[in-house]
Amino acid sequence: MFSSSTPELWPAPLRPIAALGGRTLDVVSALGRFGQFFAQAVGYIVIPPFKLGRLVDRIHFIGFRSLLIVILTGAFTGMVLGLQIFLTLSRFGSEAYLGPAVALSLIRELGPVLCAVFVTGLAGSALTAEIGIMKITEQIDALQVMALNPMRYLVSPALVAGVITFPLLTAIFDVVGILGGYLVGVELLGLSPGTYFGEMKTFVNMSDLMTGYWKAISFGIIVPWVCTYKGFNCGHGAEGVARATTQAVVLTSILILVWDYFLGSVLP
């Protein structure tokens, strides 16, 4: 019987259809492996023994090492927002709403998304490269022959660390961003501090905070999931690791934006 994975065996007119079928099967099986990888990682989170030391190490790896870049980018994002929104609002004489506009933009949207993208570039790419190098230098094989499960050791702690650190990093990004907006709006452009923070209390409510929180948690799952998967499935040699790292960053960034739109339209 002909197989769609060998289109050259098909009669010439049917070969494009066979090739399309083969590609489709490849994509479906890759998605299956991707899902199975996640299910296994989640399984090892709930089935003991737990690798607490590894979890602390991954929290440090993803969270602490990303702190400086999150503070820096958060501050400038808030300052840009403060400047641009102030200039726009001043055309309508509504500068008083600068505080809530900056806060809502950051808390609901820009905070979780930008923070996740920056952490992907910094810690996500490092996760892929680290696991990829472990794979090509047989360190993952070494774990296996020591009867240690690499998923339990390398992936599950990264997933838990992502869920813990992303909301915290996002909160820091939001706070620093709001202060950046304050610096520009209040200190440089002359808005009163009471107006900046007072209006914020009126317009920002709990559901806005929860929207940002759920987004941050889901990005905290997506980033380590994709980045560790790409590391585990990297090709041979330095080129294979380099390609896997690029793919991890690009795919994660796209998934963050797609998932952000989905959550933005579903959450209140």
Min separation Cβ 128 and other proteins, Å:
15
Q: Position of tokens 């990093």?
A: 169
With CB under 8 A as the contact rule, which of the stretches 75-83, 138-146, 171-179, 226-234 interacts with other proteins? 138-146
> Site for other proteins (CB under 8 A): which residue of 52, 146, 206, 266?
146
Phi, psi of 146 (to 5 degrees): -85, 10
**Least Å from the CB of residue 18 to other proteins:** 18
36 belongs to the binding site for other proteins (CB under 8 A): no
Q: How far is the CB of 138 from other proteins (least distance, A)?
A: 4
Cis preceding-peptide flag for 167 (omega within 30 of 0) = no
Q: Is residue 144 at the binding interface for other proteins, with CB under 8 A as the rule?
A: yes
43-61 burial, b at 16+ Cβ within 10 Å, e below that, comes to ebbeeeeebeebbeebbeb
Contact flag: residue 39 with other proteins (CB under 8 A): no
Of 145-153, 165-173, 229-237, 253-261, the segment contacting other proteins by CB under 8 A is 145-153
If the CB atoms of residues 107 and 131 are measured against other proteins, the closer one turns out to be 131
User: Which candidate, 156, 158, 160, 266, places its Cα nearest to that of 210?
Assistant: 266
Binding test (CB under 8 A) with other proteins, winner from 50, 83, 109, 139: 139
Q: Considering only residues 118 through 137, tell me which ones interact with other proteins, judged by CB under 8 A.
A: 133-134, 137
Helix 206-232 and helix 111-119, axial crossing angle in degrees, nearest 10? 20
| 266 part of the interface to other proteins, by CB under 8 A | no
- As measured in angstroms, the least distance from the Cβ of 32 to other proteins is 18
Number of residues that bind other proteins (CB under 8 A): 12
By CB under 8 A, name the one of 36, 64, 138, 254 that touches other proteins: 138
142 binds other proteins per the rule CB under 8 A: yes
CB burial string 96-106: b at 16+ within 10 A, e below: ebbbbbbbbbb
* Cβ nearer to other proteins, comparing 73 with 156: 156
**Min CB(61)–other proteins separation in Å:** 10
In whole angstroms, give the CA distance from residue 100 to residue 31.
41
Determine if 147 is a binding residue for other proteins (CB under 8 A): yes
CA distance 219 to 117: 9
Query: How big is the chain by its Cα radius of gyration, in Å?
Result: 23
CB of 51 to other proteins, least distance (A): 9
Q: Which two tokens stand for residue 192?
A: 């009163």
Residue with the two structure tokens 């009163």: 192
Contact residues for other proteins, defined by CB under 8 A = 133-134, 137-139, 141-142, 144-148
